[in-house]
Amino acid sequence: MQYLILIYNSPAVIDLFARMSDEERAAAFQIYWDVVSDLEATGELVSSEALDTEAQKQVTRGADGPVVTDAPLPELTEVVSGFYLVDVADEARAAEIAARFPEAVVPGGMRIARIWTDADFAANT
């Protein structure tokens, strides 16, 4: 089963990292590399990327085509800052992986979502 593990940046996450010493911050960032190495070793990693939280855009459909505005918008308090697409046995394994990240200590810092298959779409149409 494939799951998307989403890492969220929020004021609480920013505060978490700001309160860390340089050594704690370095150890926290090392976790990302360790997770990649571990998932590559088990064959569970499909893809992972960090996202630029400053250059994100919001796209809506307008009468004359796409309307692109800067995002995150001021009213938003969180933004997706990275993801890991994994192929794992079940939701419990995806949650186990997500819990390893520093953001997991902050409510809403980590989320997981199962990727729908063709069979899922067929069953729900």
pLDDT in tens, 61-110: 999 999 888 765 656 667 899 999 999 999 999 999 999 999 999 998 99
In the prediction, which pLDDT does 73 show? Answer: 60
User: How would you classify the pairing of strands 45-50 and 2-9?
Assistant: unpaired
Helix (H) or strand (E) holding 117: none
pTM of the full structure: 0.86
Least confident of 39-43, 102-106, 115-119: 115-119
Q: Are 103 and 96 in contact (CB under 8 A)?
A: no
Helix (H) or strand (E) holding 121: helix 118-123
User: Domains of the chain by range and CATH?
Assistant: 2-123 (3.30.70.1060)
**Strand, helix or coil for residue 45:** strand
